[in-house]
């Protein structure tokens, strides 16, 4: 891989071409080189509805990738709630307002009893940044353990705990372990942090291990958490990806692992596209920070954000989206696994709910980055949107809005089967 290559940013990114669209050229002129576009043939979207997206020429795409518009693109209940609140009042948390209190009560009711307070921000990065500060205050330590392809965001502090951004990202106080969280690795990371004088502040994990390639095994996290706690650290469960029902067996990914986190961070699907994020906490863990550091986030927790977030909870509950994730996700997984059985170059099909990872292998059974990219681009040409993840860039990432239907599964499977046949994989 070239210097500066990042799996999460570059595994499925457009790399330019002689006949670039004028919009691409204009975009790169004003945004500069840090931004990436998906696909060899980038998609210019202008409209969305449910699980469907439409490009500037009016072509329809099946969205099997986007987890932000989790209750479906342009859901009318969310639009209505946002429009009504936006037309009434939008201020901030220095004034009293019911929405933030009522929403917090609902959100915390979905958490274990121990997790009883919540603070708001606008992005997952900010929520994780805040969680690191809280953990450091509580533990008196700064050492952090993450998984080797983790992505936790883009502030300076969370970039430093995001090895997927490249080797230069990692801070001296961070140790990366495999997503198998093997006991010996965790023990070595703890010992190393202690010897380095950092101590152990937190284990930070995305509880579905998204950028590590999607690893749903529910037996590995609890022993790692026990070891970290014995060394004085806390568990920060990053629910930005698995949270809000995606894994099909409850609201939160950590529940599958049988652990109660000290801090829980969330964002992306929380308000269906409005920039809303949060950090929930055990109040005893939060107290040391919150009693000495006043907190204000201009946009975090404002009435419009809270209205949008509450509307998302309404839809998750009212449309039974957690059980939909389980049922439709189960059907999708079974159908993809059935296709995979006929294709030696498709390896493991794994996941939970509506979050699926599908390994693409070469003839020797090794990870095939180019093959995975080829499949993703071929699916895009058939107007089905997916992407890739994993340290080797060879795991197809299938993560549709939670309103994915059985008819969507049929369309997905028909196109996926066609792509596998045409690839000879
Ligand atoms: C697991 C995880 N944590 C944190 C973040 C950062 O969230 P944001 O982009 O909202 O800052 C992301 C974003 O992709 C993520 O996937």
**Which residues contact ligand 1 via a Cβ below 6 A?**
123-125, 128, 151-154, 206, 210, 238, 240-241, 267
> Closest Cα to atom 13, ligand 1: which residue?
153
Q: Exposure pattern of 88-110 as b/e (b: 16+ CB <10 Å)?
A: eeeebbeeebebbeebbeebeeb
* Contact by Cβ (8 Å): 207, 239: yes
Best residue for ligand 1 mutational test, from 266, 268, 270, 387 (most atoms within 8 Å of Cβ): 268
> Alpha-carbon distance 182 to 189, whole Å?
11
pLDDT at position 218: 96
> Alpha-carbon distance 362 to 69, whole Å?
34
Segment (H or E) for 233? none
Atom of ligand 1 nearest to the CA of 126: 11
What is the 422 CA–ligand 1 centroid distance (Å)?
34
Atom of ligand 1 nearest to the CA of 125: 11
> Alpha-carbon distance 87 to 180, whole Å?
49
Atom of ligand 1 nearest to the CA of 268: 10
Averages of pLDDT over each 10 residues, the chain, 425 residues: 70 72 92 93 97 97 98 98 98 97 98 98 98 98 98 97 90 97 98 98 98 97 98 98 97 98 98 98 98 97 98 98 98 97 94 98 96 97 97 97 98 97 75
- The encoded tokens of residue 144 equal 């952090």
pLDDT at position 229: 98
Model confidence, pTM? 0.97
Distance from chain centroid for Cα 238: 8
> Alpha-carbon distance 178 to 224, whole Å?
12
The DSSP symbol for 50 reads B
* Contact by Cβ (8 Å): 131, 158: no
> Closest Cα to atom 2, ligand 1: which residue?
152
In Å, what is the CA distance from 126 to each residue of 137, 277, 304, 419?
Answer: 17, 8, 19, 39
Residue with tokens 């990692």: 170
> Closest Cα to atom 8, ligand 1: which residue?
124
Mark out the alpha helices in 39-97 (DSSP H runs): 76-86
Q: Per 3-state DSSP, what percentage of the chain is helix, strand, and coil (rounded to 5)? A: 40, 20, 40
What is the 210 CA–ligand 1 centroid distance (Å)?
10
């Amino acid at each position: 891989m070239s210097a500066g290559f990042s799996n999460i940013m570059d595994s499925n990114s457009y790399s330019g071409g002689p006949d670039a669209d004028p919009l691409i050229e204009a975009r790169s002129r004003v945004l500069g080189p840090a931004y990436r576009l998906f696909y060899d043939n980038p998609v210019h979207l202008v409209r969305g509805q449910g699980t469907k997206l439409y490009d500037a020429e009016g072509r329809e795409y099946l969205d099997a990738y986007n987890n932000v518009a989790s209750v479906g693109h342009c859901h009318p209940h969310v639009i209505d709630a946002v429009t009504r609140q936006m037309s009434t009042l939008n201020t901030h948390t220095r004034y009293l307002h019911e929405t933030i209190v009522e929403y917090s009560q609902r959100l915390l009711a979905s958490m274990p009893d121990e997790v009883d307070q919540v603070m708001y921000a606008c992005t997952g990065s900010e929520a994780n940044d805040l969680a690191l500060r809280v953990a450091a205050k509580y533990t008196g330590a700064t050492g952090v353990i993450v998984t080797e392809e983790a992505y936790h965001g883009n502030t300076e502090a969370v970039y430093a705990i995001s090895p997927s951004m490249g080797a230069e990202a990692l801070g001296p106080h961070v140790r990366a372990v495999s997503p198998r969280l093997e006991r010996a690795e965790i023990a070595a990371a703890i010992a190393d942090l202690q010897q380095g004088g950092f101590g152990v502040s937190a284990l930070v994990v995305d509880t579905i291990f998204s950028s590590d390639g999607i690893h749903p095994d529910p037996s590995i996290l609890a022993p790692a958490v026990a070891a970290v706690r014995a060394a004085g650290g806390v568990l920060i469960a990053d629910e930005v990806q698995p949270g809000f029902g995606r894994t099909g067996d409850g609201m939160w990914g950590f529940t599958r692992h049988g652990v109660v986190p000290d801090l829980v961070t969330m964002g992306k699907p929380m308000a269906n596209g409005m920039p809303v994020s949060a950090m929930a906490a055990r109040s005893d863990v939060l107290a040391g920070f919150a009693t000495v550091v006043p907190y204000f986030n201009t946009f975090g927790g404002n009435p419009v954000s809270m209205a949008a977030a509450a509307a998302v909870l309404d839809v998750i509950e009212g449309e039974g989206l957690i059980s939909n994730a389980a049922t439709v996700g189960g059907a999708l997984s079974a159908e993809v696994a059935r296709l995979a059985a006929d294709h030696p170059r498709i390896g493991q099909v794994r996941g939970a709910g509506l979050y699926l990872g599908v390994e693409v292998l070469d003839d020797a059974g090794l990870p095939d980055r180019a093959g995975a990219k080829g499949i993703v681009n071929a699916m895009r040409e058939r107007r089905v949107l997916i992407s890739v993840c994993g340290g080797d860039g060879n795991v197809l990432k299938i993560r549709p809005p939670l309103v994915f239907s059985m008819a969507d599964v049929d369309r997905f499977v028909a196109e996926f089967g066609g792509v596998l046949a045409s690839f000879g994989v």
